[in-house]
Amino acid sequence: MSLPDEVVVSRPAWHPLHWLARSRVLAPGVLVCGVIALSSTFLSEHYGGPQLLYALLIGLAFHFIHSNPQAKPGIEFCGRTVLRVGVALLGVRITLNQVSQLGVEVALVILLALVLTILMGVWWAKLLGRTREEGILSGGSVAICGASAALAISAVLPQTKANERFTLLAVVAVTVLSTVAMIVYPLVIAALDMGAGPAGVFLGGTIHDVAQVVAAGMMLGPEAGDTATVVKLFRVMLLMPVVMAISLLYRHHQPVEGKDLTMPLIPGFLLAFVVMMLLSSSGLVPASVVQGATDASRVCLVLAIAAAGIKTSIEELLQLGWKPLLLFVSETLFIGLFVLIAVIGLGLAGTR
């Protein structure tokens, strides 16, 4: 029964026997995450609700599995490697042509909203006595693309227990707030009698999750839905430079036992993100392949959040208190008000 470990040690990484032994070590934990992912998908498709949130909650319920030495390697693999694959595949959803459809004013407003939201997160976290990492992670997840951004930013932050717990809270908070925004923002738009173009810019520039942006936009018609989707994809594109900047900021961080945790100058999954975006922009990739990569990205992220849930206990999550929740709510209100004022004040009309 000890053969897999011996093979892993004695064989080079490229050797087929190494991969066979490695897969046997990882299989139990990966299968556990896979069952949770399938369960969350079933619940989401049949009863509604966010798939990632279901995966997180089910994962939390199975926290006891993380102490099992047979399951732990596969769970850690899903929480780190599979997560990075999922983030890399996000790039296939974006094309340069989509981004070029945005007017310069719209792009500048979205970019400014993103930067200010992250800076506000850092400042507000300091006022609340929280760490800078929590401010960066909360601000980035609110400013870019919700749970996906939270997972991507977490991957380049110091891998501490506190940051892992806060990432779980971030997924819950941005998912709930995004769902609330999907319901409330169309009502705000109706009350203000906004046109389809400005409405799409507002929805795409403020709601956290891509799926909820599309849903809210389609409530107001196809024009608003298309504009909202393009604006949102522009925000998703900004994930790469933001995560790269954070990676450089923490490149030489040594959080535990003096270990050298120096990261590469540009993490490989960010380079893969750019490659995927360029391939999608080239028009050489069939639509079926793009859709397949998009679906694979979603699967990877669900597996990763299931693993993150298993690794975190509910008791540890509750120890974070109410201040982090206030952080997410204040950032969500800030980006919503900023984009709304910009849309109304500048008369932004969306894609061209």
Going residue by residue through the chain, which has 352 residues, state the pLDDT in tens, using 9 for 90 and above: 444 444 444 555 555 666 677 888 899 999 999 999 999 999 988 887 778 778 888 988 898 898 888 999 999 899 888 878 887 887 787 777 777 777 788 889 999 999 999 999 999 999 988 899 999 999 999 999 888 888 889 888 887 888 888 888 888 888 888 878 888 898 899 888 888 888 999 999 999 877 778 778 877 887 888 788 888 888 888 888 898 888 888 876 644 444 444 445 556 776 787 888 888 888 888 888 888 988 898 898 889 888 878 887 777 666 667 888 889 999 999 999 999 999 988 776 655 5
- Count Cβ atoms below 10 Å from residue 207 Cβ, excluding itself: 31
Residues 24 and 27: their CA atoms lie apart, in Å, by: 5
Q: How many whole angstroms separate alpha carbon 108 and alpha carbon 242?
A: 15
What's the burial of 250, exposed, middle or buried (CB within 10 Å: 0-12/13-18/19+)?
middle
Looking at the domain assignment, is residue 14 inside a domain?
A: yes
Instruction: Report how many domains make up the chain.
Output: 1
- In a domain? residue 352: no
Question: 178 is in which domain, residue-wise?
Answer: 3-346
Kindly state whether residue 332 falls inside one of the protein's structural domains.
Answer: yes
Q: What is the CA radius of gyration of the chain?
A: 20
Which of 33, 52, 62, 60 is CA-nearest to residue 307?
33
Quick check: is 351 in a domain? no
Task: For residue 349, give the 3-state DSSP assignment.
Answer: coil
Residue 194 inside a domain? The answer is: yes
pTM of the shown model: 0.71
- Asked if the structure places residue 86 within a domain, the reply is yes
Does residue 160 form part of some domain? yes
Q: Is residue 47 a part of any domain in this protein?
A: yes
Could you give the CA distance from residue 221 to residue 228 in angstroms, rounded to a whole number?
11
